[in-house]
Amino acid sequence: MRVLLVEDDAALAGEIASALRAENFAVDRAADGEDGLHLGDTELFDAAVLDLGLPKLGGIQVLKGWRAAGRNLPVLILTARDGWSDKVEGFKAGADDYLVKPFRVEELVMRLRALVRRSRGHGDARIVCGPISFDAQVGTFERDGLPLKLTALEWRVLSCLMLRKEIVVARADLIERVYEGDADVDSNSVEVIIARLRRKIGHAMIETSRGLGYRLTAEGTAR
């Protein structure tokens, strides 16, 4: 999962980014509204965390700009403004959730996971595909009821496939949602991660659609 964090307080942004990365999120940061608007409008993210009091362009303007451009990524407003009118303005602009500072990072993580899960059409936090189950609220995977140990990149790829199970996910889409914007991505990096996942969950569970991408499926486990 890849998150866009638009926050001008460098210390707070660093704390949030570190906490999200510890939970396997990829995080791209913007320190002002203009940069945040541009990133959200030109790159793929699973969700955005957006401050309201930003330099150059306010958070509400950023959000309205994304929505006007047809960007439907889930947006969580994170701000010190706790007035009812501020919340109403945020939701009217297109926000999906609203969290007031000060806050607990654990709550931010849980809310982001819920936003991403629901945006992919999953009402239940537990998503199952054959022997693999994913607790999308806690962020843990199991295979046949046993914990599945994954690296951060493996977790991001498998969660992306799990949230779109039985659907082909384009290779380019995986790359954009798994790596941060400044990452040096090797041309066959996704293939390497897919190969490692196949060894851990079963080769037949991840199908390659040549020229298109990959599909997580339970069909292979029934053969």
* pTM of the predicted model as reported, rounded to 2 decimal places: 0.87
Q: Domain check: are 64 and 86 in the same one?
A: yes
Tell me the sheet residues that pair with 47. Answer: 3
Q: Domain check: are 60 and 98 in the same one?
A: yes
176-223 confidence digits (pLDDT tens): 888 887 666 665 788 999 999 999 999 999 999 988 899 999 975 554
d(CA 45, CA 119): 12
**What is the pLDDT at residue 223?**
47
d(CA 158, CA 84): 39
Q: Domain check: are 131 and 193 in the same one?
A: yes
Residue 31 to residues 68, 90, 105, 132: CA-CA distances in angstroms?
22, 19, 19, 38
d(CA 79, CA 95): 12
152-177 confidence digits (pLDDT tens): 999 999 999 999 999 999 998 888 88
Q: Domain check: are 137 and 179 in the same one?
A: yes
| Residue ranges making up the domain that contains 42 | 2-119
Structural domains in the chain (count): 2
Q: Which residue has the tokens 């799990």?
A: 162
